[in-house]
Amino acid sequence: MNRGTPPSLQQQGSLYLVGSGVSHALAPAIHNTVIRQIGANWTFSNLDVKSKEEALSYIRKDDFIGCVPTMPLKIQLLDVVEEMDEAAKAIGAINNIYKRDDKLLGANTDWIGILKSLKPHIPEDVDSEGLIVGAGGASRAAVYALAKLGLKTIYIINRDVKEVNDLKRDIEKGFKLASIIIPKLIHLETEEQAQQNFNVNAKERKAVLIGVSCVPDLEPSSESEKQASAVLKITLSQNNGILLEMAYKPRVTRTFALAEKHNWKVVEGINVIAEQVQAVWQLFAGVNLSETQIKAAQNELWRQASTRDELNCNGIPKSAAVHTK
């Protein structure tokens, strides 16, 4: 997939986080730190666009090196690349466009950030099942990451049945295309169903839940949102587990606080960006970053994150974000 020659570090080049409402995103913090460390004559900037066509006008420029598209461009730009990696095929979305021998290629590294954020906290030799809150774009990468961790059963908590059915359909189609074993996806629709699934008494339950929350930190308002919130409360109260909270500002979201209340290990979502940096730069420049370089980039991301207002899982201020999941 990465055969071929990446762009020269000496040529003047541009990379972008591209999407709607991304002008204040944190991506340049981590990527421009890497650019300085590897001595590339490149810049990474946020590119706020309103359409696929506007994004393409930059991708087709001579100085284009690569980009990180956000939703819905992760799906809309699939037909722009000549080849995709296994993860992109299975997930049905790309979050990296890069060049080899002037060909545009696509990859998905979202799942790597999710997997690497969770893996250090998962106990060995313990039965595990998955839990995903939400059924939007980020949930597909979460399913892929949990499947890569070997989980065969994944519970879904989401307000909308159609969204869950769409998720199941897309996962089945994508995983078959990539020849990956499809995990069993179980939609927990009601409090009664959650109680039955988890045998009411959490002390008798041996499996540890490995969870990813892919929804914004918003107060439930509709009846369906309140129902999903109630199901989540039961699920967290009756299980032990690890939860990756993809919404990372405020530092302690409603879901974060609820999980901690029930003694779950909570992993902050900004790790998902930080843990992708090695994989992303293997794509953009064909380089293997040293541990020192990775840490420097991650530390700059954390430093700038600490000075920002509320952000969503893409590092975008909630007030500016349009497509966040």
What is the domain-level CATH number for residue 91? 3.40.50.10860
**How crowded is the C-beta side of 170, counted as CA atoms within 13 Å?**
22
Note the pLDDT tens digit of each residue in 69-88.
998 899 999 999 999 999 99
> How many domains does the structure of the chain reveal?
2
Poorest-pLDDT segment among 7-11, 224-228, 305-309 = 305-309
Query: Which has the higher per-residue pLDDT, 181 or 202?
Result: 181
User: What's the rounded mean pLDDT across residues 139-157?
Assistant: 97
- The closest of 70, 76, 146, 48 to 312, measured between CA atoms, is 70
Predicted pLDDT of residue 317: 45
Which amino acid type is present at position 292? Answer: T
Is 205 contained in some domain? yes
- Give this prediction's pTM: 0.88
Predicted pLDDT of residue 267: 96
Predicted pLDDT of residue 318: 44
- Token reading at 325: 């999941």
Note the pLDDT tens digit of each residue in 88-102.
999 999 999 999 999
CA distances from 276 to 222, 259, 271, 281 (A): 35, 25, 9, 9
- Token reading at 67: 């980009």
Band (247; pLDDT cuts 50, 70, 90): confident
Domain span including residue 18: 13-109+276-305
Note the pLDDT tens digit of each residue in 198-210.
865 555 566 799 9
* Domain-terminating residue out of 271, 295, 315: 271
Q: Rounded to whole angstroms, how far apart are CA atoms 147 and 277?
A: 22
- Judge if 262 and 132 occupy the same domain: yes
Evaluate if residue 242 carries a pLDDT over 80.
yes
- Judge if 300 and 260 occupy the same domain: no
Residue of 74, 89, 99, 325 marked active site: 74
- Helix and strand numbers (H, E) in the chain are 13, 12
Is 6 contained in some domain? no
Does 176 participate in catalysis according to the annotation?
Answer: no
User: What's the rounded mean pLDDT across residues 309-314?
Assistant: 47
What is the domain-level CATH number for residue 242? 3.40.50.720
- Judge if 263 and 228 occupy the same domain: yes
- Judge if 118 and 185 occupy the same domain: yes
| CB distance 325 to 71 below 8 Å | yes
Predicted pLDDT of residue 325: 32
